[in-house]
């Protein structure tokens, strides 16, 4: 059972209900993560509008989901790992690509650079060097895309922390976390 109750969207109103309706319109259901963070309408708005904004970005859904599974695995978030593995496959990534991304690996050098940078951001708590940023730039990412990579990492930390702290029940097909190194 979750550490916070899951909000029943039918018991909300106004802007709070409108947010839940948008989420349901996108997913066909309201995932448990949104019901948990939905205990606060402003926290729900923050999370949902971040997803919407980054969905309009230049990185593309496939790379965004590859970053998400890596961050989820580092942060030991089973919920996000399951959700983003499924979403990555819907975005055109193979099961092998998503499994590799979870381990921080890609056969594509540009994707590898994004995953390396993302892992450094998480593991070093954003303490990266100019050389780290230059490595991503040298792999072919623009400054706009580098900023977006950081934004994806930050959003995924928010969602990971939501699910881990509140012990949100996974309502996506489960995926195993890698063993801690």
pLDDT at 179: 74
Of residues 93, 80, 105, 66, the one with CA closest to residue 156: 80
Domain extent listing, the chain: 11-55, 61-165
* Average of per-residue pLDDT values in the chain: 97
pLDDT per position as a tens digit, 97-130: 999 999 999 999 999 999 999 999 999 999 999 9
Residue 69 has which token pair? 């599974």
The pTM of the whole model exceeds 0.85 = yes
pLDDT per position as a tens digit, 33-53: 999 999 999 999 999 999 999
pLDDT per position as a tens digit, 137-156: 999 999 999 999 999 999 99
The band of 170, judged by pLDDT with boundaries at 50, 70 and 90, is very high
Is residue 1 pLDDT above 90, yes or no?
no
Alpha carbon distance 98, 69 (integer Å)? 7
Residue 161 has which token pair? 């922390």
Alpha carbon distance 25, 155 (integer Å)? 21
- The class that CATH gives domain 61-165 is mainly alpha
pLDDT at 91: 97
């Amino acid at each position: 059972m979750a550490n916070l109750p899951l909000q029943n969207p039918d018991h909300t109103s106004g802007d709070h209900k409108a947010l839940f309706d948008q989420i349901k319109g996108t997913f066909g259901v309201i995932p448990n993560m949104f019901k948990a963070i939905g205990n606060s309408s402003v926290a729900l708005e923050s999370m949902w509008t971040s997803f919407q904004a980054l969905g309009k970005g230049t990185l593309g859904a496939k790379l965004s989901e590859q970053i998400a599974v890596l961050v989820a695995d580092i942060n030991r978030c089973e919920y996000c790992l399951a959700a983003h593995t499924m979403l990555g496959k819907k975005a055109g990534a193979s099961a092998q690509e998503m499994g590799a991304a979870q381990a921080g690996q890609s056969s594509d050098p540009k994707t590898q650079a994004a995953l390396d940078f993302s892992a450094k951001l998480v593991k070093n708590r954003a303490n990266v060097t100019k050389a780290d940023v230059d490595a991503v730039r040298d792999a072919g990412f623009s400054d706009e895309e580098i900023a977006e990579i950081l934004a994806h990492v930050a959003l995924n930390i928010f969602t990971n922390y939501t699910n881990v702290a509140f012990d949100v029940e996974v309502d996506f097909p489960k995926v195993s976390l890698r063993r801690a190194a």
